[in-house]
């Protein structure tokens, strides 16, 4: 398939590297848009876990009367488990959705690009890392772009698109068309640390952690203040647990290193939580304890 044909008809087959919360969510919305999806991770167990997450999400929609059993089956049949990267040679677009760690992402790109068609667009779902820098780990910086989905992907409408220094207009136009086909709204960010959403959001979360660290208020008081006083749907500390405290810390470190401003210094309490393995919802404990099913503040 030529690049021109891709743009005329839109991306038809999508490869996704990483079957975690973000990767499985991206796979679900791509399948819902009628696209063929190839889902990869480091093990069959992780891929199966991702498929299970998608199945559970679709069954919830079915139980709510939003889709039928037939639609559930059709969507699941559009997602192919792909333990080998070689299967991506038939994809028009490949999206990396691995952990927010630059070394890991660079290793993934170095491993996958030799298997890709020369016209395939390669993208990253990074929420903060330089697109220009990641593109240097590939053979196609002009066809490399940032496509940052929000979590949870099936329900969040926004997608940030970030061009690297070398990203060409053809790649951007094809990506914008792809995002629109998913029923999402696009914002375009320049390639600066944290882009738009996390440049504003994560320092707010970090400041909330500082407020807790310094004894300004309890977890409940801080979260209630932002929910009720600023009309936020979720308090910043509970949101941090939902995002993952390790992800929040990684983004703060990117901001601190990339912008060299002390106002982006990660709060020591955030660092301690990550060191303890208290990462939020995914580990059952963060600023809240989730053992009972309902979040219980720990301070």
Buried b / exposed e over 4-43, threshold 16 CB at 10 Å, is eebeeebbebbbbbbbbbbbbbbbbbbbbbebbbbbbbee
Count of alpha carbons within 13 Å of 180, Cβ hemisphere only?
Answer: 7
Asked if residue 152 has a cis previous peptide bond (ω within 30° of 0), the answer is yes
Nearest to 96 by CA among 78, 111, 118, 76: 111
Catalytic residue among 148, 250, 256, 273: 148
- 148 catalytic, yes or no? yes
- 198 catalytic, yes or no? yes
Catalytic residue among 128, 198, 206, 250: 198
- The whole-angstrom separation of Cα 154 and Cα 282 is 18
Contacts of 116 (CB under 8 A, 6+ apart): 88, 89, 91, 94, 122, 140
Cα 62 to the chain's mean position, in Å? 25
Distances (CA, A) of 149 to 54, 133, 134, 249, 279: 16, 20, 17, 19, 21
Per the DSSP assignment, residues forming a β-bridge with 16 are 39, 95
> Phi first, then psi: what are they for 10, rounded to 5°?
85, 160
- 127 catalytic, yes or no? yes
Catalytic residue among 13, 57, 160, 250: 160
DSSP 262: G
> Phi first, then psi: what are they for 182, rounded to 5°?
-85, -5
- 232 catalytic, yes or no? no
- What residues are annotated to the active site? 127, 148, 160, 198
């Amino acid at each position: 398939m030529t690049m021109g044909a891709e743009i005329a008809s839109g991306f038809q087959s999508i490869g996704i590297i990483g079957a975690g919360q973000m990767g499985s969510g991206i796979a679900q919305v791509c399948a819902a848009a009628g696209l063929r999806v190839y889902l990869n991770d480091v093990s069959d167990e992780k891929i199966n876990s991702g498929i299970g997450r998608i199945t559970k999400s679709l069954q919830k929609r079915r139980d709510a009367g939003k889709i039928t059993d037939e639609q559930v089956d059709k969507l699941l049949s559009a997602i192919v488990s792909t333990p080998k990267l070689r299967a991506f040679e038939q994809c028009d677009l490949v999206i990396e959705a691995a952990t927010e760690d630059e070394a890991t992402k660079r290793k993934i790109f170095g491993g996958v690009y030799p298997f890709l068609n020369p016209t395939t667009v390669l993208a990253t779902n990074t929420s903060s890392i330089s697109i220009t820098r990641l593109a240097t780990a590939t053979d196609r910086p002009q066809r490399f772009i940032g496509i940052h989905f929000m979590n949870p992907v099936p329900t969040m409408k926004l997608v940030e698109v970030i061009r690297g220094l070398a990203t060409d207009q053809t790649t951007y136009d094809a990506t914008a068309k792809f995002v629109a086909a998913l029923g999402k709204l696009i914002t375009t960010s320049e390639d600066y640390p944290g882009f738009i959403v996390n440049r504003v959001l994560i320092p707010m979360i970090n400041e909330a952690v500082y407020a807790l660290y310094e004894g300004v208020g309890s977890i409940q008081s801080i979260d209630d203040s932002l929910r009720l006083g600023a009309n936020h749907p979720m308090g910043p500390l509970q949101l941090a647990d939902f995002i993952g405290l390790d992800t929040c810390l990684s983004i703060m470190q990117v901001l601190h290193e990339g912008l060299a401003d002390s106002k982006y210094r990660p709060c020591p309490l955030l660092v301690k939580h990550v060191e303890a393995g208290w990462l939020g919802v995914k580990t059952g404990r963060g600023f809240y304890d989730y053992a009972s099913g309902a979040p219980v503040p720990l301070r």
